[in-house]
Amino acid sequence: MSTDLDPRRPYRLSPTVSLRPEPFGALVYDFATRRLSFLKTPTLTQIVRDLDQYPDVDTAMAAAGVPAGEHDQYLKALDRLLAAGTIHPLPPDEGPP
Amino acid sequence: MKLVDHFQHGLDAPICLTWELTYACNLACTHCLSSSGRRDPRELSTEECKRVIDELQRMQVFYVNIGGGEPTVRSDFWELLEYAIDHQVGVKFSTNGVRISQERARQLAAMDYVDIQVSLDGATPEVNDAVRGPGSFDTAWRAMENLAEAGFTGFKISVVMTRHNVDQLDQFKRIADHFDAQLRITRLRPSGRGADVWDELHPTQEQQRQLYEWLLGNGENVLTGDSFFHLNALGSAPLPGLNLCGAGRVVCLIDPIGDVYACPFAIHDEFLAGNVRGPGGFTEVWRTSALFEQLRQPQTGGACTSCSAYDSCRGGCMAAKFFTGLPLDGPDPECVKGNAEQALELAGAGAAPKPDKDHSRRTAPRRRSAVPVSIGWGPPDDRIPDRACDTSPLAGFSLPEPRRT
């Protein structure tokens, strides 16, 4: 799988992005690009919201209870969110607790 | 459940809402959706507007489309704009450009979370001014120049598609590219004064196909406010967008006096859900009004159910049907399958409801062409008057210098 996302590194929600939880997942709004998009599952919403609480993406996905069979699918979704600027790599000096 | 199905059932807060701040307008466009012109004395005060913004922030409505009337003629417009942005409610406002001076443009370019839509209904002054009034093309053009010079890139040029400008689509695109702006085209609605000009201005069947083909070719970079989903019945390729009527489900309108309507094209008691001045504010209207509850129920296609295209066009636009006198569960007046003709005939002439809100000026707008006038005082200097009555009775006479003693 070709991806720019490194599942062994920490990421976070972009500071210009807000999430609004919805039954289907969440609305995503980037105040900087004025773009509205959607997270289509509550699990993806949880991963994205809490991303900066974990040392890496794999741990964040495990904490949200992503089944092994759906691991790659979620990784692809996160990769798209990285490309869209919704999530960013967490700078080294702002590491998770 | 698919995303669109969630939207059909309504969300706890709108995704985006339109808020018309005033019915006052310096123009008198022939197709104005809100029949604007005169300010309404009941319009929300600055403080009441701020309370609405507070609610939108709590509901996480990320942005509002502000319009009117001409919103920038409200003296507190810039104050409200800043208040919204400071409260995480982004603003996209529509303007005819009248107040977008060089200085305002620089100020706007420096602000985050603000987007601007300049209305232009013709790519040439002739086509534009026929609908929007004399001089309005130049006003819009100056505003766009000011924005571009100030470095405000990506603002929107908003065009209502009419019979006279469908052929100008490529020209509009070039204008947008020239200003590093984005083209936004929307559908003409028979709402407000639009009802008076609908028959002469709405695109012909042939033009609808032309529009559809153009959108398929250029649609990715052109915004449509999702307003052309009724054209999806023309082919198998759906137009980009959600392609659903969001009225009362994911969108709504707050009008200048705080009335909440199902959508910006439906300013009529039939679609009035409540008022933000009520005890529960906007939130309660959005969540509990009987009208919105009803719109969020599964809708029936009525006469359209048996049509092969129903799944792609969903029966079209509720407001367009209502204001042309068609039943809401029947075909759109611009049905591309040609089903509206018979329905319109069945409905009969005079079936269209009378608009029940009108803020049009009672007379044509005063033309304020600037004539330089100065009032002279005293005798003209070294000048022979061309008429005997010009200025001073002493005109033309040089008084002898008083002798100094």
Reply yes or no on whether the pLDDT at B232 is more than 70.
yes
- Residue A8 distance to chain B (closest CA, Å): 31
**Using an 8 Å Cβ cutoff, are B328 and B322 in contact?**
yes
Tens of pLDDT, residue by residue over B6-59, are 888 888 899 989 999 999 999 999 999 999 999 999 999 999 999 999 999 999
For residue B50, what pLDDT is reported?
A: 98
**Mean pLDDT of all residues in chain A?**
90
CA dihedral B182, B188, B191, B192 (to 10 degrees): 70
- From the candidates B4, B15, B156, which should be mutated to test the interface with A, based on the most A CB atoms within 10 A? B15
Q: How far apart are the C-alpha atoms of A86 and B74, rounded to whole Å?
A: 36
Going by DSSP bridges, is the β-strand pair B259-261/B272-275 parallel, antiparallel, or unpaired? antiparallel
For the ranges B205-219, B303-317, B360-374, which has the lowest average pLDDT? B360-374
- The whole-number average pLDDT for the span B244-263 is 94
- For residues A27 and A73, is the Cβ–Cβ distance under 8 A? no
Chain A residue with the nearest C-alpha to that of B115 = A34
Give every strand in the sheet of B156-161, ordered side by side.
Answer: B182-187, B156-161, B114-119, B90-95, B63-68, B16-22, B253-254, B259-261, B272-275
For B2, nearest residue in chain A (alpha carbons): A24
Q: What is the pLDDT of residues B184-205, one digit of tens each?
A: 999 999 999 999 999 999 999 9
Looking at the predicted structure, is the pLDDT value of residue B345 above 90?
A: no
Q: How far apart are CA B326 and CA B291, in angstroms?
A: 19
Please say if the pLDDT value at position B404 is more than 70: no
Between A25-29, B337-341, B344-348, the lowest mean confidence (pLDDT) is in B344-348
Does pLDDT of B379 surpass 60? no
Alpha helix ranges (H) inside B202-354:
205-218, 281-288, 290-295, 310-313, 318-323, 340-347
Strand order across the beta sheet in which A17-22 lies: A17-22, A25-30, A35-39
Q: Is B346 within 8 Å of B302 (Cβ atoms)?
A: no
Could you tell me which residue, B399 or B225, shows the higher pLDDT? B225
Residues in chain B within 8 Å Cβ distance of A40: 3
> Quick check: B133 pLDDT over 60?
yes
B171 vs B364: which has the higher pLDDT: B171
Residue B397 burial (10 A CB sphere; 0-12, 13-18, 19+): exposed
Do A18 and B3 lie within an 8 Å CB cutoff?
no
pLDDT exceeds cutoff 50 at B387 = no
Contacts of A29 in chain B (CB under 8 A): 62-63, 90
Q: Is the Cβ–Cβ distance between B230 and B265 less than 8 Å?
A: no
Residue listed under structure tokens 């330089």: B372
pLDDT at B385 (0 to 100) = 43
Residues sharing a CB contact under 8 Å with residue B324, sequence separation 6 or more, in sequence order = B190, B195, B198, B333, B344, B347, B352
Of B3, B60, B90, the CB nearest to A24: B3
Would the pLDDT of B396 be above 70?
A: no
Average pLDDT over residues B130-141: 98
Say which of B11, B88, B112 has its CB closest to residue A22: B11
A15 and chain B in contact, CB less than 8 A: no
Name B143's Cβ contacts closer than 8 Å, sequence gap at least 6: B95, B96, B97, B98, B100, B105, B118
Contact A44, A76 (CB under 8 A): no
Q: How many helices (H) and strands (E) does chain B have?
A: 14, 9
- Cβ atoms of B274 and B257 within 8 Å: the answer is no
Tell how strand B90-95 and strand B114-119 pair up.
parallel
Are the beta carbons of A74 and A41 closer than 8 angstroms?
no
Q: What percent of chain B has pLDDT over 70?
A: 88
Q: How many CB atoms lie within 10 A of CB B46?
A: 13
- Kindly state the tokens that stand for B153: 């890139």
Supply the DSSP string of A17-77, one letter for each residue.
EEEEEETTEEEEEETTTTEEEEE-SHHHHHHHHHGGGSSSHHHHHHHTT--GGGHHHHHHH
Higher pLDDT, B380 or B372: B372
d(CA B205, CA B105): 40
Q: Does B197 touch chain A (CB under 8 A)?
A: no
User: What is the rounded average pLDDT of the residues B127-154?
Assistant: 97
The candidate with the shortest Cα–Cα distance to B366, out of B36, B32, B37, is: B37
CA distance, residue A44 to nearest chain B CA (Å): 15
Q: Give yes or no for a cis peptide into B69 (omega within 30° of 0).
A: yes
pTM, entire model: 0.85
Mean pLDDT over each residue of chain B, to the nearest integer: 88
Which of A18, A19, A31, A44 would you mutate first to test chain B, the one with the most B CBs within 10 A?
Answer: A31
Task: Concatenate the DSSP letters of all residues of B47-114 into one string.
Answer: HHHHHHHHHHHHTT--EEEEEES-GGGSTTHHHHHHHHHHTT-EEEEEE-STT--HHHHHHHHT-SSE
**B221 in reach of chain A (CB within 8 A):** no
Which one has a higher pLDDT value, B16 or A48? A48
Residue B386 has pLDDT above 50, yes or no: no
SS3 B337: coil
Using CA atoms, how far residue B313 sits from B8, B188, B307, B318, in Å, is 14, 17, 10, 12
pLDDT at residue B368 greater than cutoff 70? no
Say yes or no: B16 contacts chain A, CB-CB below 8 A. yes
Please tell me the least confidently modeled range out of A50-59, B127-136, B174-183, B244-253: B244-253
Q: Which of B246, B217, B219, B243 is nearest to B232 (CA)?
A: B243
